[in-house]
Chains A and B, each alone.
Chain A
Amino acid sequence: MLLPALLILAAISLFPFFYIVWMSFHEVSLIGGVSFEWVGLENWTELFTDPNVRSSWIVSGVYFVATVGLEMVLGIIIALLVHELIWGKNLILSMLLLPMFVAPVIVGLLGRFLVDSTYGLYAWFLERTGLITWEILGSKGSALAAVVLMDVWEWTPLVTLIVLAGLASMPQAVLEAARVDGANYLQRLRHIVAPLISGVVVVALLIRSMDAIRYYDIISITTNGGPADATKVIPIRLYETAFRFQELGYAAAIGLGMLAFSILVANLFMRILKRQGLAR
């Protein structure tokens, strides 16, 4: 029963994997079919010395910490909030989840619309209040902040949803006992709730981590890496290297660098599953 699926999976995952490894040791040309020229470790040495790639890793790092960090903090706070609500909890949760279903590219386009200096609702508001009077996507700092917030808008609900599941499965008796013993909300949060939900929080963190490096639709449709490389995360750099500068071999080396990161995350994820006895 396993065989058909695994054979197809091998064809669409292992084959491209070996192909990209192969590419990374060659200069690849797409002119008139695909042709390879062996260059040994050239792409790999470039990967570790290229200042552009290094700066993209830094941008990726900042983007990663900002998006995943904000999503975790806000997601947990919102989950704690919704968990305490009495009326309309289901309806409110459903409304909070909506951004998750929006195609990332639409999130980017919608974000672009909202901060457009002529058409944008948010741009209008920020200008009226005097907070931001310049072109938001045209300036380094505000452009990076904008693409981070678009991702935060879309994916905070996922963290909320996961943490809420953890909160809902807490044994009520323990919480009740602490309440009876006079522990206030913050004490209960720190000594009872936090240890009980730490497992799901880690899962949320890993799920978000892998997706944060996986997707680049929002940045690609809003700033495409600009202004002045301020939002040029690694996947955007890879795409540009491959399809604009036609350096496919070098792009392959960059891609394998990204892949190493996601395999690391996948590894951690497997370990968590095992510890919870979920990987059977």
Chain B
Amino acid sequence: MKGLGRQAILYAVTAVVLLWTLVPLVWMVLSSFKTPNDLVSSTPRLFFAPTFQNYVGLFTGGNALGGYIKNSLLAAGASTIIAVALGCLAGYGLARSRFRGKDHISMWIISTRMAPIAAVILPLYAVFRALDLLNTTPGLVVAYLTFNLPFAIWIMNAFFADLPPALEEAAMVDGATRFGAFWRIALPLTAPGIVTTGILCLVFSWNDYAFAQSFAGPGSQTLPVAASQLITQTGINWGQLMAIGTIVVLPMIVVGLAVRRYLVKGLTLGAVTGE
């Protein structure tokens, strides 16, 4: 059938799309293993003797990357755990209750998630300054909660709403409390939803630059800020920059692809269900 020729064309176009998508990432990883000489060569080098000097340079010396990694993990991890725990409770509450003004509550939650970051930074900056939360990891955790908490509530609401209430009702007839039904029945059944929510919260906060750059000081700076600090008046250390980029990106790709099945639901705030 004529299908074969058609498929050949489709795959050729796909190859072009893949090139556009992957070349920057592959080039970033390759460049992170290049010496300054290989980086600056007048024709870009695809083949070169790889070196670890960029990574070694990042992890040694006075301003080693280890501290930034710790700050990133703490801020992103803590805000994720808090957001998911509270999000499960509230999402369940929202999914299983009907009350007047529920629409307004939903609208408030979604608006909070959509609020422009620059417009959130401004009042938070003044408040954090008054409360001495600038330059601290707890300050960053609070800042990340401004987007992670509404996100987690909203998404968990969508996952719980997909669950037939009959199971929990049966458990409650058998004597379980509302919380018992939530804890023993609803929660285990939405495990994939919880993992997806957690991973997306982690990605959003791990990848944050705007909040960290405004609120974080020497003691709480995160990886994206460390990357931006490699741009100096005297020049840019591109080799190390690409190495940081690789370190920031790789873990998120791994965890992100792990929940690919549920990504559509998570990233459309529950409006579209995939696969």
Which A residues form the contact surface with B (CB < 8 A)?
A: 1-2, 4-6, 8-9, 12-13, 15-17, 19-20, 23, 28, 30, 33-34, 78, 81-82, 84-86, 92-106, 109-111, 113-114, 116, 118-119, 121, 124, 153, 157-158, 161-162, 164-166, 168-169, 200, 203-204, 207, 210, 213-217, 220-221, 234-235, 238-239, 242-243, 248, 251-252, 255-256, 258-259, 261-263, 265-267, 269-270, 272-273, 276, 278-280
Q: Is the CB of B182 within 8 A of A103?
A: no
Determine which residue in A111, A239, A279 has the highest number of CB atoms from chain B within 10 A of its CB, and name it.
A279
Q: Is the CB of B112 within 8 A of A106?
A: no
Of the candidates A105, A161, A215, the one whose C-beta lies within 8 Å of that of B227 is A105
| B44 touches A (CB below 8 Å) | yes
With a CB–CB cut-off of 8 A, which chain B residues contact A165? 264, 272-275
Q: Is the CB of A121 within 8 A of B267?
A: no
Those 5 A-B pairs whose CB atoms lie nearest each other, nearest first: A255-B119, A5-B90, A1-B93, A103-B207, A105-B209
Q: Is the CB of A4 within 8 A of B86?
A: yes
Of the candidates B89, B207, B263, B271, the one whose C-beta lies within 8 Å of that of A203 is B271
Q: Is the CB of A278 within 8 A of B158?
A: yes
From known contacts A207-B268, A216-B117, A248-B126, infer whether A110 and B44 are also in contact, taking CB-CB under 8 Å: no
With a CB–CB cut-off of 8 A, which chain B residues contact A93? 260
Q: Is the CB of A238 within 8 A of B272?
A: no
Shortest C-beta distance, A35 to chain B (Å), equals 10
Shortest C-beta distance, B92 to chain A (Å), equals 6
A111 to B209 alpha-carbon distance, docked (Å): 16
| B69 touches A (CB below 8 Å) | no
Q: List 17 A-B contacts (CB under 8 A).
A: A5-B90, A15-B127, A34-B129, A84-B10, A86-B7, A99-B24, A104-B207, A105-B224, A110-B24, A153-B20, A161-B264, A165-B264, A168-B275, A207-B269, A213-B116, A215-B210, A255-B116
With a CB–CB cut-off of 8 A, which chain B residues contact A97? 256-257, 260, 263
Interface-lining segment among B48-56, B59-67, B103-111, B166-174: B103-111
Residue of B nearest to A84 (CB): B10
Q: Is the CB of B18 within 8 A of A105?
A: no
With a CB–CB cut-off of 8 A, which chain A residues contact B256? 97, 100-101
Of the candidates B11, B14, B94, B267, the one whose C-beta lies within 8 Å of that of A161 is B267
| B25 touches A (CB below 8 Å) | yes
From known contacts A105-B209, A221-B228, A259-B116, infer whether A110 and B111 are also in contact, taking CB-CB under 8 Å: no
With a CB–CB cut-off of 8 A, which chain B residues contact A17? 123
- CB proximity to A under 8 Å, residues B78-130: 86-87, 89-90, 92-95, 97, 103, 105-112, 114-127, 129-130
A34 to B131 alpha-carbon distance, docked (Å): 11
Q: Is the CB of A258 within 8 A of B111?
A: no
Q: Is the CB of B209 within 8 A of A85?
A: no
Q: Is the CB of A258 within 8 A of B116?
A: yes
Q: Is the CB of A5 within 8 A of B149?
A: yes
A30 to B122 alpha-carbon distance, docked (Å): 12
| B74 touches A (CB below 8 Å) | no
A114 to B25 alpha-carbon distance, docked (Å): 11
With a CB–CB cut-off of 8 A, which chain A residues contact B22? 95, 98
Q: Is the CB of A215 within 8 A of B117?
A: yes
Q: Is the CB of B18 within 8 A of A92?
A: yes
With a CB–CB cut-off of 8 A, which chain B residues contact A269? 110, 114, 269, 271
Of the candidates B87, B103, B116, B248, the one whose C-beta lies within 8 Å of that of A214 is B116
Q: Is the CB of A9 within 8 A of B21?
A: no
With a CB–CB cut-off of 8 A, which chain B residues contact A101? 203, 207, 249, 252-253, 256-257
A30 to B35 alpha-carbon distance, docked (Å): 45
Q: Is the CB of B17 within 8 A of A78?
A: yes
Shortest C-beta distance, A166 to chain B (Å), equals 7
Residue of A nearest to B275 (CB): A168
Q: Is the CB of A256 within 8 A of B119?
A: yes
A266 to B241 alpha-carbon distance, docked (Å): 37
With a CB–CB cut-off of 8 A, which chain A residues contact B138? none
With a CB–CB cut-off of 8 A, which chain B residues contact A114? 24, 27
| B195 touches A (CB below 8 Å) | no
With a CB–CB cut-off of 8 A, which chain B residues contact A278? 158, 161, 270-271
A102 to B213 alpha-carbon distance, docked (Å): 17
With a CB–CB cut-off of 8 A, which chain A residues contact B150? 9, 13
Residue of B nearest to A28 (CB): B126
